[in-house]
């Protein structure tokens, strides 16, 4: 295999199994290769999720039963070692979930890197948020909030259902002058959208240094800066020393991670500590069957569900903290 080729590993799964496969791919190959389009959605890290569950306009189709999760490996000893780990992990997952054996094939890196862009087009979310790739010139309407993204091969484009649900919720709950916190920012799409929706301060964190670089590049692409727009991007998770500092917090991750953040499994700071009294938290990346588990974790911290948004199997929850006495 030449250096300009990649090994693509693909497996067809249903919604619940897809999450497990994405976690497996990200564990062994996170942060290297990802694509995202109306017909192919990314989950973050080193996995690609392609689904037939969207119509020609990027909205949910009547059913979303099958999807294909892919990851891409570079040639060489390291790539072969990762491939063996992934194949072993998939063997164990097949004991739990019905899925066929993975399919491996060789693809040209240059062809793959450009092909996914053909399917990535501007998409309207909510009433006035327009997500668009940097190379497109969308037909924006008066009052539209245009968010440009150049994710490259590192993070999603914002077209995944979980991101769409979050952006639509931001449009409703972010008010001019609010302070906004995005935990697990990825490409920075939510923080950038919040700043453009009028947040006076937008703080974005991610544990992946590559995410921080990509988010900063996308912020500059949108002409959003710390000095003028109050956007701050740093590596990390739930920030310390900012208790009660944000009227709106978003965390678009996975159900298990959200629960762990509430329980301080990864940090000393619980997920809700930065939330202001009476503030709203948008929790996403949640499969429908795990929504109640996340709500239970939130309820343990005095948060009450006030809104639920759903697209296919994916759910976004909006919970509210109690007002100050």
**CA 308 – CA 304 distance, rounded (Å):** 11
Name the pLDDT band for 160 (thresholds 50, 70, 90).
confident
Segment (H or E) for 170: helix 161-173
CATH 3.40.50.150 assigned to 158-320: yes
Share of the chain above pLDDT 70, in %: 80
Rg (CA), the chain: 19
Range with the poorest average pLDDT among 5-9, 68-72, 233-237, 278-282: 68-72
Could you tell me which residues are beta bridge partners of residue 310? Answer: 315
User: Which pLDDT score, from 0 to 100, does residue 63 have?
Assistant: 37
Average pLDDT value for the chain = 82
**Nearest in space to 248 (alpha carbons), one of 169, 167, 174:** 174
| CA-to-CA separations, 201 to 8, 197, 282, in angstroms, rounded | 41, 11, 17
User: Which pLDDT score, from 0 to 100, does residue 49 have?
Assistant: 52
Q: At what angle do helices 15-29 and 77-93 cross, to 10 degrees?
A: 150
Instruction: Please give the average per-residue pLDDT across 41-50, as a whole number.
Output: 45
Q: Please tell me if the domain spanning 5-117 has the same topology as the one spanning 158-320.
A: no
Name the pLDDT band for 279 (thresholds 50, 70, 90).
very high
Tokens of 124: 């309207």
Q: Phi-psi bin for 41: left (phi > 0), alpha (psi -120 to 50), beta?
A: beta
Under DSSP, the state recorded for 288 is G
Name the pLDDT band for 5 (thresholds 50, 70, 90).
confident
User: Which pLDDT score, from 0 to 100, does residue 2 have?
Assistant: 61
**CA 156 – CA 154 distance, rounded (Å):** 7
CATH 3.40.50.2300 assigned to 5-117: no
What pTM value is reported for the model?
0.72
Helix (H) and strand (E) counts in the chain: 9, 15
Residue 83 near residue 7 (C-beta atoms within 8 A): yes
Residue 310 near residue 164 (C-beta atoms within 8 A): no
pLDDT digits (tens, 9 = 90+) for 108-154: 766 665 655 666 778 888 888 998 888 888 888 899 999 998 865 44
Instruction: Please give the average per-residue pLDDT across 250-275, as a whole number.
Output: 93
User: Which pLDDT score, from 0 to 100, does residue 111 have?
Assistant: 63
Could you tell me which residues are beta bridge partners of residue 287? Answer: 314
Per-residue pLDDT at 1 exceeds 60: no
Domain ranges of the chain: 5-117, 158-320
Query: Hey, which bits of 218-270 come out as E strands?
Result: 231-235, 246-252
Per-residue pLDDT at 38 exceeds 50: no
Name the pLDDT band for 291 (thresholds 50, 70, 90).
very high
pLDDT digits (tens, 9 = 90+) for 207-239: 988 889 889 999 999 999 877 778 999 999 999
**CA 164 – CA 112 distance, rounded (Å):** 25
Query: Hey, which bits of the chain come out as E strands?
Result: 5-13, 40-44, 47-51, 67-73, 103-108, 123-125, 129-133, 145-149, 179-183, 201-206, 231-235, 246-252, 275-287, 304-311, 314-320
């Amino acid at each position: 295999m030449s250096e300009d080729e990649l090994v693509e590993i693909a497996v067809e799964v249903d919604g619940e199994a897809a999450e497990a496969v994405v976690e497996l791919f990200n564990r062994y190959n996170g942060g290297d290769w990802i694509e995202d389009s109306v017909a192919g959605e990314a989950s973050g890290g080193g996995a690609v999720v392609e689904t037939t569950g969207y119509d020609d306009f990027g909205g949910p189709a009547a059913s979303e039963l099958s999807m294909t999760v892919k990851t891409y490996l570079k040639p060489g000893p390291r790539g072969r070692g990762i491939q063996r780990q992934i194949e072993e992990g998939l063997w164990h997952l097949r004991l739990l979930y019905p899925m066929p054996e993975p399919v491996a094939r060789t693809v040209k890196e240059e062809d793959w890197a450009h092909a996914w862009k053909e399917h990535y087009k501007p998409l309207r979310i909510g009433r006035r948020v327009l997500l668009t790739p940097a190379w497109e010139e969308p037909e924006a309407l008066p009052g539209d909030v245009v968010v440009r993204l150049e994710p490259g091969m590192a993070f999603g484009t914002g077209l995944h259902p979980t991101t769409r649900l979050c952006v639509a919720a931001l449009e409703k709950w972010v008010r001019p002058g609010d302070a906004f916190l995005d935990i697990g920012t990825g490409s920075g799409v939510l923080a950038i959208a919040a700043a453009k929706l009028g947040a006076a301060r937008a703080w974005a964190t991610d544990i992946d240094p590559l995410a921080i670089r990509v988010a900063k590049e996308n912020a500059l692409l949108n002409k959003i800066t710390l000095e003028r727009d109050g956007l701050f991007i740093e590596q990390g998770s739930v920030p310390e020393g900012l208790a009660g500092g944000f009227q709106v917090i978003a965390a678009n991750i996975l159900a298990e991670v959200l629960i762990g953040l509430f329980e301080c499994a990864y940090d000393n700071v619980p997920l809700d500590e930065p939330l202001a009294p009476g503030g709203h938290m948008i929790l996403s990346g949640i499969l429908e069957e795990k929504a109640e588990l996340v709500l239970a974790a939130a309820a343990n911290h005095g948060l009450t569900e006030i809104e639920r948004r759903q697209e296919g199997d994916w759910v976004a929850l909006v919970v509210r903290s109690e007002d100050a006495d």
